[in-house]
Amino acid sequence: MIITRTPFRISFVGGGSDLPVFFKEYGGAVISSTIDKYMYISSHDFFEKEKIRTKYSATETVNSVDDIKHPILRTIMKKLNVNRGLEISSIADVPAGTGMGSSSSFTVGTLHNMMAREGKIDQVNKAWLGEKACEVEINDLNEPIGKQDQYAAAFGGLNIFRFNQDNTVDVEPIHLDKDALIQFSKHMRLYYIGNQRSASNILSKQSKESLKIDKIKSLKTMVSFVDDFAKSIASNNWKRCGDIIDENWSLKQSLTDGISNPTIDQIYSLGKKNGAWGAKLLGAGGGGFMLFFAPPEKHLSIDQALGLSNFPFELETAGSQVIFNG
C-alpha cells in the first residue's frame, strides 16, 4: 500500500491573477499558505487483477482506465500508463467545493501516489508535481482554473507564487521565525459558511471577463498587494496585513458576478463591526470558508456575532508527501 498526504491551502492576496488568460498577458502573483488539513490518497493491489476499483465520493469497479468516470483519476492513470489490478481511495479532512483547492490537492496527491507506485519517485520533485498537476487540470481537462492551487499543494508552506508570461512559475518562500509564524497564525479566524460549490462556473466567467479594461486594472492592483503583504508580514505589521486582505476582497468582488451574495456580505459586515481588520472568502467565491484577520482579543466577539464555529488550523510547511510505502 502507498499513501500520500497532500495539504489544502488558504490564499491571502492576488487570487485570480493566476488564470492563464491574465498572467500570459500581464504576469500574476499570489501569496498563500498550506494548512494542516489534508487530502489522503491510498493505492494498493486489487484482488481482481484485471479490474480497477476507485473510491472517492462514489465507488467504481471497472475493466479499463477508459471506463473510469472520475476525470482526474482517468486522466492521470492514462498519462502515467497505470492499467489494471489497482484500488485507489481518497479521504479528505475538508469537503470539496469549500475554497481550499481540494481538486488540485487531489490531483497532486494522486500524481505523487502513482509515481511512487510505478517506481518513479526519483523523478518527482515539488516543481514537477505542481506543473504536472496544472497540465492535467488546465491542459488535459480544460478546467477554467488557475495555477496557484497545484503549486501550493505540491510545495507547502507560506509562499509567493509568481506566474510568468512564458507560463513558468517562480516560487519564493516567505521565511518567518517561529514566533512570527505563531503571531501571524493567531490573527486568523476561519469559519465555514456553507454552500459547497464548484469553482468552475465562477472562474469560467472570470476568465472571459479578465481582459476587460476595468478587470485588468483590478487584477494588477491585486498583484501589487503581494509584495506589500509580504513586507507587512516580515515587519509584523498585522494591521496592515488585515487592511490588504480587505482591499483585495473588495477588488475581487468586482471581477465577476457570483463571487459574493447577501449572506456572505452580512457575515463580512458582522465580522468587521466586531473588530476584524479584514476578511475574504477562500477560493473562487459563492460559499465555503471565510477567513477573518483580526486582533486575537477580538476573536471571541467575532465568534459570538457570527454564531459560527471557528475552524481551527495550523500552517504547515511540508507539501505533498508519501507517508507510507509498504
Ordered by where they begin, the domains of the chain are 2-176 (3.30.230.10), 183-306 (3.30.70.890)
Residue scoring higher pLDDT (98 or 38) = 38
Describe the strand order of the beta sheet including 278-281 as a list of residue ranges: 188-194, 288-293, 278-281
What pLDDT score was predicted for residue 209? 61
pLDDT band at 196 (very low <50, low <70, confident <90, very high): low
What pLDDT score was predicted for residue 107? 98
pTM: 0.94
pLDDT at residue 99 tops 60: yes
What pLDDT score was predicted for residue 260? 83
Give exposure, 84-111, as e/b (b: 16+ Cβ within 10 Å).
Answer: eebbbbbebbbebbbbbbbbbbbbbbbb
What own/partner pairs with CB < 8 Å and gap ≥ 24 does 315-318 have?
Answer: 315/33, 315/34, 315/35, 315/36, 315/157, 315/158, 315/181, 315/184, 315/185, 316/7, 316/34, 316/35, 316/36, 316/156, 316/157, 317/34, 317/156, 317/157, 317/158, 318/7, 318/156, 318/157
pLDDT at residue 205 tops 90: no
pLDDT band at 4 (very low <50, low <70, confident <90, very high): very high
Contact between 273 and 312 (Cβ < 8 Å): no
What is the average per-residue pLDDT within 102-113? 97
What pLDDT score was predicted for residue 19? 94
Q: What percent of the chain has pLDDT over 90?
A: 83
What is the average per-residue pLDDT within 61-79? 96
pLDDT band at 302 (very low <50, low <70, confident <90, very high): very high
Spell out where 167-211 has E strands: 169-173, 188-194
What pLDDT score was predicted for residue 197? 56
Cα separation, 160 vs 35, whole angstroms: 15
Cα separation, 232 vs 205, whole angstroms: 32
What pLDDT score was predicted for residue 84? 82
What pLDDT score was predicted for residue 194? 82
- Give the pLDDT confidence of 132-153 residue by residue, as tens digits: 999 999 999 999 899 999 999 9
What pLDDT score was predicted for residue 286? 72
Residue scoring higher pLDDT (209 or 120) = 120
Q: Of 142, 130, 106, nearest to 4 (Cα)? A: 106
What pLDDT score was predicted for residue 275? 98
- Give the pLDDT confidence of 31-48 residue by residue, as tens digits: 999 999 999 999 999 989
pLDDT at residue 203 tops 90: no
pLDDT at residue 200 tops 80: no
What is the average per-residue pLDDT within 215-229? 96
